[in-house]
Amino acid sequence: MSHPPKVSVIISTYNRPALLERALESVYAQTFCDFEVLVIDDASPCVEEMQRLVTRWEARFAERNIEFWPYRIAENSGYQCYPKNRGIERASGDYIAYLDDDNEWMPHHLSALVAAIEMDFSTDMVYSRLHYVIEDEETRQRLLEKVGTAPEGDTIGTAWNPQKLIEKNYVDTSTMLHSKGAFWRMVREQGYGWDETARRYGDWNFVHRWALAGLNGRLVDVITVKYHWHKNSLQLTRPAIETPITFNYAQWLMTRKETDAATGYTGSAQTH
């Protein structure tokens, strides 16, 4: 490229080359072209298969003049937050977009989100809506048993409201695009980006702290992501004991503000 890309696409992956293949197909199909791709492999044991895959995709993206950067972490980190931080450290784009290796973007994903964030340059993050796909009946039953529901089809978007993040997360990692500069502002204030100690719900933790740092977000009210429920989904395979509170007291103290008019937080400690 003769100039830095507008968007850096970060895909964290571990030992799921077939799913990563599908994810990369969806990135390749984007109608928006001004991006680079960073695949951060969290020490997958299938080294040769992953090497063949990234070599093949490097050549395919080169045909479209899109930079493709594969990185391999030496030792498995245990979750997706560490690879995301390593990806951002290497990113060249003005904006960061994420795709989990078991999900896929619709072709208009990047074009819709970039257009939305550039409508108002005071916007720090935009996010779209999901379409849930349950891949088989076994997965449906496991969802019902473990989660109590089996989400399927189009989701309803939730407008940006930091107070609602106390109750639940409504911004999935694969739906978000944010300013790289805003990310580093959060790091300067809080000392870290994605919480590398988290074992689950890293996106909830991230978005909640994003709001506490005084950064904003905006819903792009269109479906742009297919979220796949499958038998190896983390929500179904992680033991319940690994589920942390989204924002623990030590983290809250680190980022506490006595009054934050932008987010409505007034310094009262709340955990979930």
Q: Is residue 271 part of a domain?
A: no
Q: Is residue 265 part of a domain?
A: no
pLDDT in the model for residue 245: 43
Provide the whole-model pTM: 0.85
State how far the Cα of 238 lies from the Cα of 183, in Å rounded to an integer. 28
Q: Is residue 267 part of a domain?
A: no
- Selected residue with higher pLDDT from 193 and 265: 193
For residue 167, the enclosing domain spans 7-255
3-state DSSP helix/strand/coil % of the chain, to nearest 5: 40, 20, 40
Q: Is residue 155 part of a domain?
A: yes
- Selected residue with higher pLDDT from 62 and 237: 62
What would the mean pLDDT of 128-146 be, rounded to a whole number? 86
Helix, strand, or coil here: 145? helix
Q: Is residue 27 part of a domain?
A: yes
Give the CATH number, domain containing residue 79.
3.90.550.10
State how far the Cα of 50 lies from the Cα of 111, in Å rounded to an integer. 29
- Selected residue with higher pLDDT from 58 and 141: 58
Q: Is residue 118 part of a domain?
A: yes
State how far the Cα of 175 lies from the Cα of 128, in Å rounded to an integer. 5
Residues 97, 11 contacting (CB under 8 angstroms): no
Q: Is residue 1 part of a domain?
A: no
pLDDT tens digits along 142-162: 878 877 777 889 999 999 999
pLDDT at 254 over 80: no
pLDDT-based confidence at residue 168 (cuts at 50, 70, 90): confident
Residues 160, 257 contacting (CB under 8 angstroms): no
- Based on the structure, what is the number of domains in the chain? 1
Q: Is residue 125 part of a domain?
A: yes
